[in-house]
Amino acid sequence: MSTFDPTRRQLLKAAAWLPLASACGRLAFAGDGSAAKPAQASLVVHPERLGRTVSDSLTGFSYETQQLENPAFFSADNHALVRLFRELSPRGVLRIGGNSSDYTVWTAYRGEVPTQRTHKGGPQRPVMLKPEALHALAGFLRATGWKLVFGVNLKIGVPTMAVELAQAVRQIVGDDLIAIQIGNEANNYEADYAAFDKAWSPYAKVIRDVGVPIAGPDTGANTDWVIEYAKRHGEENIFLSRHYYKEAAPRGSIADLLAGDAGFYAEVEQAMQAADASHLPFRLTEANSYYLGGRDGVSNVFASALWGADFMLAMAQRGVAGIHFHGGTLDSIEASLGRTADASTTATDQAARRDAVTSRYSAIAGDVALGFQPRPLYYGMRLAQSFAGAQMLNADLGAAGANLTAYVARRGHALLVALINKDAGRDVAVSLSGLRGGRKGRLMRLSAPALDSRNGVVFENGIDPARAGHSVTVDAHGRCSVVLPRGSAALMHLDRFV
């Protein structure tokens, strides 16, 4: 069992977490005294209808280049952060970039570097990237088993510095480098795609000429750029990419976050058509709930865990190869936005102090001085990561009007089912059918006292899945039932399904 327990629009509060003794073939529910019956939902699994295979590198993080100004952050000696990365995924991908990448100066470069103009909403000073930071980063990658995507400065207009930095990254990091990306969200400073392509092409040529792989376009919110980029440069790239945030932080709320984003899902399907036609993976190299650093009380509470799990699995179902959740220290994110961080706190509790120095949407809280701890989003990522390498299956969900999502996949001879009840007011009883009769497995729950809880998050997914959670049994007719309390999720693992 994993635990995390350190001591506008209206914030929606869920009812207290309802302890549940789970069983298949019957409902066992310990309620809160409410007379309301759970909504009666159904999930029909179709094992013969195969979907996409989930990438082994589904899980990723994104950090600002400025985070490298302290070489001790991404270092093999940062044992707490190494452990959290390794426990999340054995094959994750770390992206270094963000706003500060377009203000980064490679200190080993001896050519002329023009002064970059600062602007409202962006970094107010250049990031001085030193070779020792790359050597420390290489050690961190080896310690975690993760790979790297690295962004170079397009905005400065100096391809020779970019190619020297790209070569240095390749030489120091070696085979752990997947690709170099050129520029960050150039849609914010180039007039249109044609202007971006004109600025980008000289960089791409010199970097490719020295044998360093590239990927892109790393645009903020322009799927049309991804499609055009794929047409022009698909053969030259390792993968296609763009970013995603649901909205700006001031407009964020728990209700809005958990409502989903059908419009973006449709855009992803368009991007995947371009990726499939180019025979390239498609990655969301920077993503999170709300841009401008996330919304306090939304991006860093339990609702973000349910959103994160649902978002990752919705993306995986559509073929997205990786989702890189942006985060890091409060100082690094606020500086990238042209703001001064205020991490002051009167708290004496170590966990609260770690939280104070961390950006609001980061899945991992802390810094080198205070240490690190998982936030609620981290546990949602862990649930979704359980699907890495599995093949999605089609299933018909009847949600009975509840804010419920479900995902089904097959890994080897086992069946995986994720049930996510994002409803703030209704418990849901899900009747599953189409399963193999008599099979047994485990049901592992993701829960917290309420949707706006910062603490008390529990994910019953221990190191040994055979012992985690609660035992479940499918009846002879291939059916079982699970009750999901409002604002909770569950992961079912059925053995010997095939």
Q: Is the pLDDT of residue 113 over 50?
A: yes
Q: Say yes or no: 228 and 344 in one domain.
A: yes
Same domain, 254 and 379: yes
Task: Assess contact for 256 and 403: CB atoms under 8 A.
Answer: no
Cα dihedral sign for 218, 219, 223, 226?
A: negative
Q: Does residue 5 carry a pLDDT above 60? A: no
Where residue 16 falls among pLDDT bands split at 50, 70, 90? very low
What does 187-237 look like in DSSP terms, one character per residue? Answer: GGTSSSHHHHHHHHHHHHHHHHHTT--EEEEEESS-HHHHHHHHHHHGGGE
274 and 351 part of one domain: yes
Based on the fold, state whether residues 378 and 450 are members of the same structural domain: no
Asked whether the predicted pLDDT for residue 343 surpasses 90, the reply is: no
Q: Supply the range of the domain harboring residue 337.
A: 59-385
For 49-83, write each residue's pLDDT tens digit: 999 999 999 999 999 999 999 999 999 999 999 99
Domain end position, chosen among 362, 385, 408: 385
Task: For residue 378, give Cα distances in angstroms to 61, 257, 325.
Answer: 11, 16, 10
* Same structural domain, 16 and 71: no
Number of separate domains in the chain: 2
Q: Residue 461's closest CA among 88, 91, 146, 143? A: 88
Q: Which residues lie closer than 8 Å to 175 by C-beta, 6 or more apart? A: none
Shared-domain flag, residues 115 and 159: yes
Give dist(CA 243, CA 217) in Å, integer: 10
Residue found under tokens 């650093």? 293
**Above 50 in pLDDT, residue 270?**
yes
End of a domain among 366, 385, 404?
Answer: 385
pLDDT at 260 over 60: yes
pLDDT in tens, 49-58: 999 999 999 9
Tell me how crowded residue 172 is: count the other CB atoms within 10 A of its CB: 17
The last residue of one of the domains, among 367, 385, 403, is 385
116: closest CA among 84, 86, 157? 157
- pLDDT of 162 higher than 80: yes
Q: Read off the CATH number of the domain in which 404 is found.
A: 2.60.40.1180
How many CA atoms lie less than 13 Å away from 317 in the CB half-sphere?
A: 20
Residue 358 has what DSSP assignment? B
Q: For residue 42, which of 485, 480, 497, 489 has the smallest C-alpha distance? A: 480
| Averaged pLDDT, 86-109 | 97
Which residues have C-beta within 8 Å of that of residue 83, sequence separation ≥ 6?
none
Distance in angstroms (rounded) separating the CA atoms of residues 29 and 48: 32
- H or E segment and range at residue 378: helix 376-385
User: Angle at the Cα of 136 (from 134 to 141), degrees rounded to 5?
Assistant: 90
Q: What is the mean pLDDT of the chain?
A: 91
If asked whether residues 248 and 118 sit together in one domain, one would say: yes
Got the DSSP string for 129-191?
Answer: E-HHHHHHHHHHHHHHT-EEEEEE--TT--HHHHHHHHHHHHHHHGGGEEEEEE-S-GGGTSS
Up-side HSE of residue 175: CA atoms within 13 Å toward CB? 1
pLDDT (tens digit per residue) in 409-442: 999 889 999 999 999 999 999 999 999 888 888 9
Same domain, 77 and 156: yes
Same domain, 114 and 238: yes
Residue-level pLDDT at 118: 73
Does one domain contain both 44 and 127? no
Total number of residues shown for the chain = 498
Radius of gyration over every alpha carbon of the chain, rounded to an integer in angstroms: 23
Please check whether residues 272 and 311 belong to one and the same domain: yes
